[in-house]
Amino acid sequence: MTTVATHCPYCALQCAQTLTPEPTGVSVAGRDFPTNRGGLCQKGWTSASVLRAPDRLTTPLVRGASGELEPTSWETALDLVALRLRAVRAQHGADAVAVFGGGGLTNEKAYQLGKFARIALGTANIDYNGRFCMSSAAAAANRSLGVDRGLPFPLTDLGGAQAVLLLGSNLAETMPPAVSHLAGCRAQGGLVVVDPRVSATAALADNGQGLHLQPVPGTDLVVLLGLLHVTFAEGPADTAYIASRTTGVDDVRRLAAAWWPERVEQVAGVPATLLRETAHLLAAASPSRGGSGAFILTGRGVEQSSQGTATVNAAINLALALGLPGRVGSGYGAITGQGNGQGGREHGQKSDQLPGYRMVDDPAARAHVASVWGVDPATIPGKGKPAVELLDSLGRDDGPRALLVHGANVRVSAPNANHVGDRLDALELLVVCDVVPSETAQRADVVLPVLQWAEEEGTMTSLEGRILRRRRAIDAPDGARSELWLWRELAERLDAPGTWDTDASLVFDELARASAGGRADYSGLSHDRLDAEPGLYWPCPATGGDPHPGTPRLFVDDFPTADGRARFVAVDDHGPAEDVRSDAPIHLVTGRVLQHYQSGAQTRRVEALVSASPAAFVEIHPILADLHGIAAGDLVSLTSSRGVVTAPARLTESVRPDTVFMPFHWGGAASVNRVTNDATDPISGMPEFKVCAVTVARADVALAPEPLALRTATEVLA
């Protein structure tokens, strides 16, 4: 048997794995790599089980006259899709066809999907579920630092830090192997976690190993403004760094002056003493004070907000005030969630971007990409609708009438999910490419079975900007096909211009040419080079001479802005889009659990993970539970202005008495995104997943059955 070196199919940590083919699939072992050091989480150890999911899709399905999905041939399915796409375009125009991609697609597929949308379909309407993941952090980093790369430094740099401020990220459950990199700061009492729950990560700051700041949900920006106030008012700011490497500090200092710690305490509920202690702890760890290093990291908990971009800019402002970005052993970073959330937006799935992190409305960018694609720049559409706006427009008179979904389960993962389901049902054509019959696939007119990670070649870009090789270990089941193949088949049926390679290495070579000169420049890379030199960082441009070594650390000399300086961006707090009120007095926050991932379409099919975490639940403080007559295990209904979700109560003091928590991995009656808010950040388009107002009550009805119980492929086709 031959072992294959690859990386985990789940999150952006992209832990290194070794796969060994076996008669029934593959076995998984951890592989030594700087990010995971040979370790894996429960999802990684059990990742091979998804390859053997009992309801794995292996045959194209078309909704027949009976209203049920029925098996058919690939030729018939693709002919039907092409015919109906042509009809929609002829009647309503090219933008009446939309594409929704996924942050789990390889770089090659993300690139080819963006190209397919723009020159085979001719539509501007392409976006992806990364809009739900990294868009606020990306927008903030671009306008302050000049470039968006989740971590602009190696993850291993955290190991030497004296202090780390972690806002809105529960690493211990979402990326467990990453926690080892926090050991150094914990040993020095320097881990500071900002979270309204006592999460598994917040608990790491106990016992003298750090601080836990537990704010009122939706007040993270206020907390950061308070930390900025202390930094400027009490002297820890790095004035020399600010003068030599930044612009715009005066407006930020003026706004921060209004957020003294005692005022922050009244709004956010974080004691003023803790705010001061945190600010001085970070300052003591900063290089300007002789410390061994400090980092400020943000995650979805503060970014998935209608003021998420402003919140991240406040975090970057704090990092700049302390003189951290661009100094080895210090900095600001955003913790990317999805496996290829970084590469997925760099190369064409976002509605406003072209390959290489070029903007679609930039004439020079359009000309360069058009030259690679072999088309007239004028034929490349402009900006399309961002994800929430796109989903809301489906089936409307002025919106898309057909939607192609690749690597996403929007029926569970999108906010205000009941409304999204209604919009999907209003379409004339819904085509879903997936490996299992997700909730979204079950509503489709056509379902196309595609490959999984161990069945394909390609590359992924990790949270640190490393480009990693994904390698095929086993053959796909008969009937499943690569998206690269099906896009070529559809492109031919639609008489699309350009070339449509199905070999991932050739697609990567084209991607590299298209990215040349862009902010995310891959032009010095190829599959062969990545096989020989694993884990190179972008930017890695072609040089014409000795190969570029890649760029592990950004901003060491300057920032990629017009003047080479980072920009302070003045932001102020306006509160969440939906605050608590008399008829909805409780905050709802959402998040993950250790055993599950995203919408659960994969992990809910792994028996070991389901056994450990079988169903959704509502975390509720005993005081709040007592007020409502709720006991542990009782069914609880959470009601917002958008819908109702029902799940068993789990009583715990780890959540605030004014707050309930619910994970988002389940569908049906336990799908928490039935009630979450689809209000969006005006800059990034990020929806406000992480906080909304609900009523809490003991439920009088039983839970509806889980719609995705494990079934055999025969049962699905029947």
Tell me: do 371 and 515 sit in the same domain. yes
Report pLDDT digits (tens) over 13-27: 999 999 999 988 899
- Domain holding 34: CATH number? 2.20.25.90
> Is it the case that residue 33 has pLDDT exceeding 70?
yes
- pTM, two decimals, is 0.95
Domain count along the chain: 4
572 belongs to a structural domain: no
Tell me: do 318 and 226 sit in the same domain. yes
CA angle 105, 3, 109 (to 5 degrees): 15
- Domain holding 353: CATH number? 3.40.50.740
Tell me: do 355 and 413 sit in the same domain. yes
625 belongs to a structural domain: yes
Single residue among 505, 522, 537 that ends a domain in this structure? 537
Report pLDDT digits (tens) over 101-133: 999 999 999 999 999 999 999 999 999 998 998
Q: For residue 446, give the DSSP letter.
A: E
Give the span between the Cα atoms of 455 and 249, in whole angstroms: 51
578 belongs to a structural domain: no
Closest of 477, 534, 473 to residue 2, by C-alpha? 473
Give the span between the Cα atoms of 306 and 514, in whole angstroms: 33
546 belongs to a structural domain: no
What percentage of the chain carries pLDDT values higher than 90? 94
Range of the domain at 593: 586-698
Closest of 604, 569, 495, 436 to residue 142, by C-alpha? 569
At residue 706 the predicted structure's pLDDT band, cuts being 50, 70 and 90, is very low
Give the span between the Cα atoms of 104 and 114, in whole angstroms: 14
At residue 1 the predicted structure's pLDDT band, cuts being 50, 70 and 90, is low
Average pLDDT for the chain: 95
Report pLDDT digits (tens) over 496-513: 999 999 999 999 999 999
Q: What are the structure tokens assigned to 346, written together?
A: 């760099």
253 belongs to a structural domain: yes
Q: For residue 706, give the DSSP letter.
A: P
- Domain holding 171: CATH number? 3.40.228.10
Tell me: do 384 and 462 sit in the same domain. yes
559 belongs to a structural domain: no
Q: What are the structure tokens assigned to 575, written together?
A: 């509160």
Tell me: do 239 and 304 sit in the same domain. yes
552 belongs to a structural domain: no
Single residue among 311, 334, 357 that ends a domain in this structure? 334
Tell me: do 378 and 288 sit in the same domain. no
At residue 349 the predicted structure's pLDDT band, cuts being 50, 70 and 90, is very high
Report pLDDT digits (tens) over 645-693: 999 999 999 999 999 999 999 999 999 999 999 999 999 999 999 999 9
The residue-averaged pLDDT of 247-253 equals 98
Tell me: do 150 and 206 sit in the same domain. yes
Tell me: do 144 and 111 sit in the same domain. no
Tell me: do 432 and 402 sit in the same domain. yes
The residue-averaged pLDDT of 212-231 equals 98
Report pLDDT digits (tens) over 352-406: 999 999 999 999 999 999 999 999 999 999 999 999 999 999 999 999 999 999 9
Closest of 559, 562, 1 to residue 241, by C-alpha? 559
Q: With 0-12 CB in 10 A as exposed, 13-18 as middle and 19+ as buried, what is 90?
A: exposed
The residue-averaged pLDDT of 288-308 equals 95
Residues in Cβ contact with 583 at an 8 Å cutoff, skipping those fewer than 6 apart: 695
Tell me: do 197 and 312 sit in the same domain. yes
At residue 57 the predicted structure's pLDDT band, cuts being 50, 70 and 90, is very high
254 belongs to a structural domain: yes
| pLDDT at residue 25, rounded to an integer | 84
> Is it the case that residue 523 has pLDDT exceeding 80?
yes
Q: Are strands 126-128 and 97-101 parallel, antiparallel or unpaired?
A: parallel
Closest of 43, 142, 12 to residue 467, by C-alpha? 12
Task: Spell out the alpha helix ranges (H) of 162-293.
Answer: 171-174, 183-187, 200-203, 220-233, 239-245, 249-256, 261-268, 272-285
> Is it the case that residue 707 has pLDDT exceeding 50?
no
Tell me: do 186 and 292 sit in the same domain. yes
To the nearest 10 degrees (0 to 180), the angle between helices 272-285 and 261-268 is: 120
Single residue among 280, 306, 334 that ends a domain in this structure? 334
Tell me: do 405 and 420 sit in the same domain. yes
